[in-house]
Amino acid sequence: MKASAFSYARATSVANAIELLAEHGERAKVLSGGQSLMPAMNLRLLAPELIVDIGSLDELRGVARREGLLSIGALTRHVDLQNDPDIATDAPLLREAIAHVAHPAIRNRGTIGGSLAHADPASELPACMIALNATIVVRGPKGERRIPAEDFFVGIYETLLSAQELLVTVEVPLLPPNSAHYFCEFARRQGDYAIVGLAAQAVVANHHLIDLRPVFFGLSDRPVRAQAAVQLVNTDITPGALSEVLQALGDELDPPEDQQANSAMRRHYAKVLLARCVAAFLSRPELSTGEVA
């Protein structure tokens, strides 16, 4: 199928893009890498009257380190993140996660802003942003808004971004000392969207988890920060205690069912992932087995 007819505007600046979005509202769509927008238009799931192409706005591209954070421009492509030295040292979770996003051809064009604005619930980057405690910066006719990643995703392909706003930057705080990360996903094939995945960031000291931010994807209409995991912080973790937390995690989750997995299977995967994550953070392989109900 082909997309329905649309008009095309190449934005000349961020201000110009916002003007166009303000004028056309819901009838316009931003084009970044086009890796999700173009397939959706060709399938006629979306039929915008105007495409606002921001692809030549270089001010939205690249990673900069400043004042305790990494500032990542919305047009930074997946492949740029994968190769960036600051991402490798200061946000290694992102680097590891991006290797699971689709395939090289898609990572060569897809952008962080597009991925976050698209808000696919099985996507890796939204979950990473919550695990990393990132802030998403959006700009519109009324000025700039800074939205914690934890609040940004509100449903399937739904965020707090309005039709008049542009996602401009993502701010990722630099990691505290003794930080560790964990990333794992179950997918049918390498590069497929996850059936269930887990992105987690932690601070580990003296064999304890001083801080823990585990965020699941593919388990709900948006990324899910596991509340049950709070009980694992600042405590001695025995196999029995972990088993209780996994039970509480299962009670907390209400996973969807589709052609790839039913609800019970997704719940089971989530427990396996959390157990493996804790075992990896504490370097205690015995915790990764056995006690998953």
Ligand X SMILES: Cc1cc2nc3c(=O)[nH]c(=O)nc-3n(C[C@H](O)[C@H](O)[C@H](O)COP(=O)(O)OP(=O)(O)OC[C@H]3O[C@@H](n4cnc5c(N)ncnc54)[C@H](O)[C@@H]3O)c2cc1C
Residue 148, SS3? strand
In terms of CB distance, is 84 or 124 closer to ligand X?
124
Nearest CA-CA partner of 34 in 18, 49, 46: 46
Shortest Å distance, C-beta 197 to ligand X: 9
In terms of CB distance, is 118 or 271 closer to ligand X?
118
Report CA-CA distances (Å) from 217 to 13, 127, 214, 240: 34, 6, 10, 26
Nearest CA-CA partner of 109 in 101, 119, 117, 100: 101
Q: Computed from CA positions of residues 31, 35, 36, 42, in that sequence, does the dihedral angle turn out positive or negative? A: positive
In terms of CB distance, is 66 or 189 closer to ligand X?
189
Residues that bind ligand X (CB under 6 A): 29-37, 39, 74, 101-102, 106, 109-111, 113-115, 117-118, 120, 123-125, 161, 166-167, 192-193
Compute the distance between CA of residue 183 and CA of residue 124 in angstroms, rounded to an integer.
9
Compute the distance between CA of residue 73 and CA of residue 86 in angstroms, rounded to an integer.
14
In terms of CB distance, is 194 or 212 closer to ligand X?
194
Shortest Å distance, C-beta 248 to ligand X: 28
Shortest Å distance, C-beta 282 to ligand X: 29
Shortest Å distance, C-beta 46 to ligand X: 7
In terms of CB distance, is 99 or 230 closer to ligand X?
99
